[in-house]
Structure 1
Amino acid sequence: MQISSKCSYALRAIFVLAERTDPGPLKIAEIAERQKIPLKFLEAILNQLKGGGFVRSQRGVEGGYWLARPADRIMIGEVLRFIDGPISPFDGAANQLSLGESELPGNEAFFQFWEQVDQALSGVVDQTTFADLVRRDRSRREEEEPFVANWSI
Structure 2
Amino acid sequence: MVPIGVNQKTQYALRALYELSVQYRAGPVKIARIAEAQRIPRKFLEVILSELKAMGYVESLRGREGGYVLARPPWEISIGDVIRDVQGPLSPVDCLIGRGGCRLSGQCSFRPLWARAARALEEVYDGTTFQDLVDGITAEEVSEDE
Partner of 2:59: helix, strand, or coil? Answer: strand
Match of residue 4, structure 1, among 2, 7, 28: 7
Q: How far apart are 1:97 and its partner, in Å? A: 9.0
- What is the alpha-carbon distance in structure 1 between the residues aligned to residue 75 and residue 96 of structure 2? 34
Q: How far apart are 1:92 and its partner, in Å? A: 5.1
Measured against aligned partners, the alpha-carbon deviations of 1:43-77 in whole angstroms (never above 9, x if no partner) come to 11001000111011111211100110000000000
Does 2:65 align with 1:62? yes
Question: Which contiguous aligned blocks of 4+ residues in structure 1 show a shift greater than 2 angstroms?
Answer: 90-98, 100-103
Contact 2:61 2:67 (8 Å CA) reproduced: yes
Measured against aligned partners, the alpha-carbon deviations of 1:93-124 in whole angstroms (never above 9, x if no partner) come to 89899423655xxx33x211111111111111
Partner of 1:22: helix, strand, or coil? Answer: helix
- What is the alpha-carbon distance in structure 2 between the residues aligned to residue 10 and residue 69 of structure 1? 15
User: What is the root-mean-square deviation in Å for CA atoms of aligned residues?
Assistant: 2.3
TM-score by length of 1: 0.78
Structure 1's 31 and 100: CA in aligned 2 closer, same or farther, altered over 3 A?
A: same
Partner of 1:16: helix, strand, or coil? Answer: helix
Contact 1:71 1:130 (8 Å CA) reproduced: yes
Computing the radius of gyration from Cα coordinates, the structure with the larger value is 1
Unpaired runs of 5+ residues, structure 2, are: 138-146
Partner of 1:18: helix, strand, or coil? Answer: helix
Match of 1:78, as an amino acid? D
Unpaired runs of 5+ residues, structure 1, are: 138-153
Q: How does 1:1-153 map to 2 (within 5 A)?
A: 2-91=5-94, 98-100=102-104, 102-103=106-107, 107-108=108-109, 110-136=110-136
- What is the alpha-carbon distance in structure 1 between the residues aligned to residue 103 and residue 54 of structure 2? 38
Structure 1's 83 and 93: CA in aligned 2 closer, same or farther, altered over 3 A?
A: closer
Contact 1:97 1:111 (8 Å CA) reproduced: no
Q: Which segment is superposed worse, 16-25 or 42-51?
A: 16-25
Q: Alignment identity in percent? A: 46
Structure 1's 55 and 93: CA in aligned 2 closer, same or farther, altered over 3 A?
A: closer
